[in-house]
């Protein structure tokens, strides 16, 4: 599938900020399931700094904006060719030991509910267990936009029984780690759901390390493994660790943001 992606995030500061430093994880991963044919990142009024590929294989760009600044717009435009690898991450170069991803965080820390959910799923091997855990999370948390916030933990989402893709990913990660399987959070884009309806927001899912097969993606929010509708950006221990945009703003004003994402299929 050939996908055209436009992604724009606008930050407004009131009163104007004295300046800001951002770290952008907004360049698609390099692996057998996707190939970037065109990609550009711009930051209004910004100066591009150092860029590097980290141990997880993610491309990181540093940007600085000098103040006073009232608004900053981070814009991404590009094209990616994707193909279905049944969720298996092949050809992705990284140096981090998978066992690092057994470490729980505040967002994925298991409570009694998550432990019960984790141990309700049995499987003869790690792959079968992962599929069962993904199905259990999908059934336990209904997809309800706006039901949770950016700081909602996996335990809170499970107790509520509602959430968004971030919550499904956190809950699946928590359950997998509880079962001894390394798991991590993945940020990216989704062209459309199983019914063909366009997806107009950034997306997230989980990857679980299943032995010799390596990392395999599971999107519990959509009850499937990532295929050619998905574009993978980067990964981390949880949503905060894998955030596409992170940084520091200098100033005491309020920050508000607006995000617009469009993923379109291009002709052959």
The tens digit of pLDDT for each residue in 171-219 reads 999 999 999 999 999 999 999 887 778 877 899 999 999 989 999 999 9
The secondary structure of 5-25 as a DSSP string is EEEEEEEEEEEEEEEEEEEE-
pLDDT tens column, 217-263: 999 999 999 999 999 999 999 999 999 999 999 988 899 999 999 99
Query: What local confidence, expressed as pLDDT, does residue 194 receive?
Result: 75
CA distance 217 to 33: 12
Q: Which two tokens stand for residue 86?
A: 């049944």
pLDDT tens column, 10-68: 999 999 999 999 999 999 999 999 999 999 999 999 999 999 999 999 999 999 999 89
Between the CA atoms of 227, 36, 240 and 42, what dihedral angle is there, to the nearest 10 degrees?
A: -140
pLDDT at position 268 over 70: no
Strand-strand pairing, 183-190 and 230-236: antiparallel
Give the single-character DSSP code of 199: -
Count of beta carbons in the 10 Å neighbourhood of residue 156: 18
pLDDT at position 123 over 80: no
**Stretch 94-123: mean pLDDT:** 94
Q: Which two tokens stand for residue 73?
A: 């717009």
State phi, psi for 174 to the nearest 5 degrees: -60, -45
Run of H or E including 117: helix 112-120
Query: What local confidence, expressed as pLDDT, does residue 200 receive?
Result: 75
**Stretch 117-127: mean pLDDT:** 86
Query: What local confidence, expressed as pLDDT, does residue 196 receive?
Result: 78
Query: What local confidence, expressed as pLDDT, does residue 120 receive?
Result: 87
Half-sphere exposure of 243 (CA within 13 A, CB side): 9
Contact 235, 242 (CB under 8 A): yes
Contact 198, 4 (CB under 8 A): no
CA distance 263 to 76: 12
């Amino acid at each position: 599938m050939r996908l055209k992606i436009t992604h724009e995030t606008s930050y407004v500061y009131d009163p104007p900020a004295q300046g800001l430093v951002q770290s952008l994880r907004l360049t698609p991963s390099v692996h057998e399931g996707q190939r970037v044919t065109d990609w550009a990142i711009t930051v209004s009024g910004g100066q591009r700094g150092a860029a590097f590929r980290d141990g997880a294989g993610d491309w990181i760009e540093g940007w600085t904006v000098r103040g006073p600044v009232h608004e900053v717009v981070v814009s991404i435009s590009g094209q990616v060719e994707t193909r279905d690898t049944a969720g298996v991450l092949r050809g992705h170069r990284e140096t981090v030991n998978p066992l690092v991803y057994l470490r729980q965080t505040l967002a994925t820390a298991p409570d009694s509910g998550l432990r019960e959910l984790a141990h309700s799923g049995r499987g003869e091997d790690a792959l079968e267990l992962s599929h069962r855990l993904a199905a259990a999370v999908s059934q336990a948390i209904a997809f309800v936009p706006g039901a949770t916030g950016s700081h909602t933990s996996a335990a809170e989402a499970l107790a509520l029984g509602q959430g968004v893709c971030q919550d499904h990913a956190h809950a699946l990660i928590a359950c997998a780690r509880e079962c001894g399987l390394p798991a991590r959070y993945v940020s990216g884009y989704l062209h459309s759901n199983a019914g063909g309806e366009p997806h107009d927001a950034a997306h997230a899912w989980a990857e679980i390390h299943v032995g010799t097969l390596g990392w395999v993606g599971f999107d519990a929010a959509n009850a499937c493994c990532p295929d050619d509708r998905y574009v993978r950006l980067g990964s981390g221990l949880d949503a905060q660790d894998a955030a596409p945009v992170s940084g520091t703003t200098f100033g005491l004003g309020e920050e508000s943001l607006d995000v617009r994402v469009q993923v379109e299929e291009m002709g052959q």
